[in-house]
Amino acid sequence: MLDDAISSSSSKTNAIVRAHLKDALVVGGTTVAPAGTPVLIRILRASGAKSGDVYGYVDIAFEPLHLPDGQDVMLRAPISHLTIYSSGGHDATVGVEDTVGEIFIPAYILYAATRKGRNVNLPAGTTIRARTIERVETNLQGAVVVKTPAPLTIPIGVPAPDYQPLPLAIVATPHPHVRNTPAPTPFPSPT
């Protein structure tokens, strides 16, 4: 849950937004992190709404969650690009309004070209979901274990391409029915 607001019009790149866990993080009956544990969100990029009906957006990333036992858990946002969702119905309504405005209102096209889009505004108290990147478990003694995901395995050898690439140069080979020696020209005839 956000403790500070996020807004495409006022948030700055690399700014830190404070938040906290709304509910306790419980794994196997063991409380890994109690409700209220601080969470930090970094603003990667923000752009405010602009004229021309361009909507604002904010890109976010979670900082590692510090557990009470000193371990860190990497978090990721299921949606890290926050923008205004524009439904098909909204787009159709705006299209009809623009068509009617262009027909009946003089210079409406100037208004439509300079119309400002909408900004993303998430006030304090907004719930933002996060997922763990690492696997969080408890062992037989009840201790919390944070396991990083296994690295990607890359097969040994060169994979076969799905297509045959074109050569950089084509070597000219003579056709079997074409003579390699030039024929004398009929004009001028030798004297």
Q: Model confidence over 78-108: pLDDT tens digits?
A: 889 999 887 888 788 888 888 888 898 888 8
Task: Give residues with Cβ within 8 angstroms of 174, minimum separation 6.
Answer: 180
Residue 141 lies in a domain: yes
Residues 96 and 67 in one domain: no
Q: Are 120 and 7 in contact (CB under 8 A)?
A: yes
Instruction: Please state the domain count of the chain.
Output: 2
d(CA 69, CA 72): 9
Task: Report how many helices (DSSP H) and strands (DSSP E) the chain contains, helices first.
Answer: 2, 14
Structure tokens at 21: 């866990």
Q: Whole domain around residue 32: which residue ranges?
A: 6-84+119-147
Q: Are 63 and 43 in contact (CB under 8 A)?
A: no
Choice between 175 and 149, residue whose per-residue pLDDT is larger: 149
Residues 124 and 47 in one domain: yes
Q: Are 59 and 44 in contact (CB under 8 A)?
A: yes
Residue 187 lies in a domain: no
Residue 39 lies in a domain: yes
d(CA 154, CA 152): 6
d(CA 187, CA 27): 97
Q: Residues 52-63: pLDDT tens digits?
A: 888 999 999 999
d(CA 132, CA 70): 16
Report pTM.
Answer: 0.68
d(CA 139, CA 69): 14
Residues 59 and 141 in one domain: yes
Residues 45 and 78 in one domain: yes
Q: Residues 20-34: pLDDT tens digits?
A: 999 998 888 888 899
Residue 184 lies in a domain: no
